[in-house]
Amino acid sequence: MPNVPMVLDPVLAAEAGGSLGDASVPDALITELLPRATLTTPNLPEAQRLAGAEDIASCGETLLQYGCPAVLITGTHDNTDQVHNHLFHGDQPRQWSWPRLDGSFHGSGCTLASACTALLAQGHPIEQALTIAQDYVHQALKNAWQAGQGQLIPDRRG
């Protein structure tokens, strides 16, 4: 299915910090999945691990060189007042920023990847799909709910 967009959310570690696979997982992502993906959405620690680089620009460029035509590195793990997401696609990098929301969320990355996938499958161009998807995720997080005493869950009801 060559015309079906594939979005790769390369989850390499649990939120609590534990690894979700052995040392072969990053290599498999790089050689098998990134070249087939339309878009990848790593957070900065995941991008650093996959790219073997520290700064966002080097990570983005390296992931593009692995064969994925669009890379959105999310700033969800930064300790800042704003969340900055960086797109590497084409000639000009692009950045989106939002106020950081209070709380710890479970499912924000997969919500973003799923929204991007749906919008790309509907035929939206990459930057338009990312703008809509990120706005959707921000609203889902603003309206998140808490089950018991765990992390906040995005309200995906739109």
Please state the rounded mean pLDDT for residues 5-32: 79
Does residue 1 sit within a domain? no
Cα distance between residue 115 and residue 124, in whole Å: 12
| Predicted pLDDT at 141 | 83
Domain that holds residue 71: 7-153
Does residue 53 sit within a domain? yes
Task: Name the nearest CA neighbour of 87 among 117, 57, 45.
Answer: 57
Mind listing the pLDDT tens digit for each residue in 128-143? 999 999 999 999 888 8
| Predicted pLDDT at 13 | 65
Is the pLDDT score of 156 beyond 90? no
Of the pLDDT bands very low, low, confident and very high (cuts 50, 70, 90), residue 87 is: very high
The DSSP annotation for 98-109 comes to: EEPPSS-BSSHH
Mind listing the pLDDT tens digit for each residue in 34-82? 999 999 999 999 999 999 999 999 999 999 999 999 999 998 666 788 9
Does residue 2 sit within a domain? no
| Predicted pLDDT at 14 | 56
Question: Which of these ranges, 16-25, 113-122, 123-132, 139-148, has the smallest mean pLDDT?
Answer: 16-25
**Quick one: the chain helix, strand, coil %, rounded to 5?**
40, 20, 40
| Predicted pLDDT at 134 | 96
| Predicted pLDDT at 51 | 96
Does residue 68 sit within a domain? yes
Does residue 60 sit within a domain? yes
Q: Are 7 and 37 in contact (CB under 8 A)?
A: yes
Q: Residue 116: give its domain's CATH number.
A: 3.40.1190.20
Is the pLDDT score of 122 beyond 90? yes
Does residue 118 sit within a domain? yes
Does residue 158 sit within a domain? no
Which carries the bigger pLDDT value, residue 19 or residue 22?
22
| Predicted pLDDT at 15 | 57
Which carries the bigger pLDDT value, residue 106 or residue 108?
108
In 3-state terms, what secondary structure has residue 152? strand
Does residue 40 sit within a domain? yes
Domain count, the chain: 1
